[in-house]
Amino acid sequence: MFAIAVPSRTFFSNWKQRSILPGFGLTLGYTVFYLSLIVLLPLSTLFVRTTTMSWDEFWTTISEPRVLAALRLTFGAALVGALINALFGFIVAWPLVRYRFFGSKLLDALIDLPFALPTAVSGLALTAIYSQNGVLGRYFYAWGIPTAYSVIGVMIAMTFIGLPFVVRTLEPALAELDAETEEAAASLGATRSQTFIRVILPAVTPALLTGFALAFARAIGEYGSVVFISGNIRGKTEITSFLILEKLEQYNYAAATAIALTMLLASFGILLAINGLQWWSNRRFCRGGI
């Protein structure tokens, strides 16, 4: 697997371009050593456990009602969160790129807050806000919507954590939009909404999809900001990460691996699908190329 380990003579001579800079062997050697120790070794445990696990074993774990409920909740809430982020991310990114207004620089910096705030801290704050006596929670509860310790709470946390992904991928795409193309569309008789749907939206669709996928994938794996507000009610508001933790505490490594594998495969599948969609939308909308 590692070509570096047994280089043939011809391979070795072509392997690296000549350079007068020193330190290649030392730095690359250290990099590979560190990566093997910190990444490859731990990852290999997952690989080995997966290959030694029987299909039956995998299926029994995954089809357990509690696990199924957790998978449904995690993927469902992550999808809702990512959709909300795709919509509002667009609405937030647009003025940040297009208009200059009081506090726009500050707002732009604050977008990264969900990245910068430790997840346990955000989880705690969200729980306080949306609990029955919370600043916003009291209004929701008055309308009969339980926002904390419920599916809605999980969605709120997953929306919070995903916003920067959509905004940060959309911003460069929106900034790159050519004002001339829009002017051309307008001068050819397109109304504002036509220009938006036919010219602007297709151009930023790849970025929007990427942001959506990143927010979705992050929400699936999120733990800290969700477990506080979800309350982890058995079979109802447990997310998959919480179940993994519980299985590990019971020394049930096989079950933990099965759940983790499902999450990893799903995230991987989503990213693949989005790549495919991007390729398709690039072909469809940018046929002529610019």
Partner 1 sequence: MAANALGSRIPNRQTPWWFKATLIGIAVGYCALLLILPLVTIFYEALHEGWALYWKSFQAPAARSAIYVTLLTAAIAVPLNLVFGVAASWAIAKFEFRGKSLILTLIDLPIGISPVITGMLFVMLFGMRGWFGPWLDEHNIKIIFALPGIVLATIFVTFPYVARELIPLMQEQGSDEEQAALSLGANGWQTFRRVTLPNIRWGLLYGVILCNARAMGEFGAVAVVAANVRGKTNTLPLHIENLYMDNQITAAFAVASLLAMLGLVTLAVKTGLEWKLNQQRSLILEPTN
With contact defined as beta carbons under 8 Å apart, do 185 and 194 qualify? yes
Is residue 231 within 8 A of residue 153, CB to CB? The reply is yes
Q: Cβ closer to partner 1: 136 or 197?
A: 136
Do 207 and 283 contact (CB within 8 A), yes or no? Answer: no
CB of 82 to partner 1, least distance (A): 14
CA 250 vs. chain centroid, Å, equals 29
Q: Please, what is the minimum distance in Å from the beta carbon of residue 245 to partner 1?
A: 6
Question: Smallest gap, in angstroms, from Cβ of residue 177 to partner 1?
Answer: 14
Under 8 Å between Cβ of 222 and 158: yes
Cα 273–Cα 278–Cα 283 angle in degrees, nearest 5: 130
Contact 194, 89 (CB under 8 A): no
Q: By C-beta, is 85 or 150 nearer to partner 1?
A: 85
Quick one: which of 241, 175, 239, 230 has its CA closest to 203?
Answer: 175
Q: What is 98-115 written as a DSSP string?
A: H---TTHHHHHHHTTHHH
Pick the closer one to partner 1 by CB: 102 or 289. Answer: 102
How far apart are CB 52 and partner 1 at their closest, in Å?
A: 12
CB of 104 to partner 1, least distance (A): 8
**Quick one: 68 or 135, whose CB is closer to partner 1?**
135
In the bound state with partner 1, the residue whose beta carbon lies nearer, of 26 and 283, is 26
Tell me the Cα Rg of the chain: 24
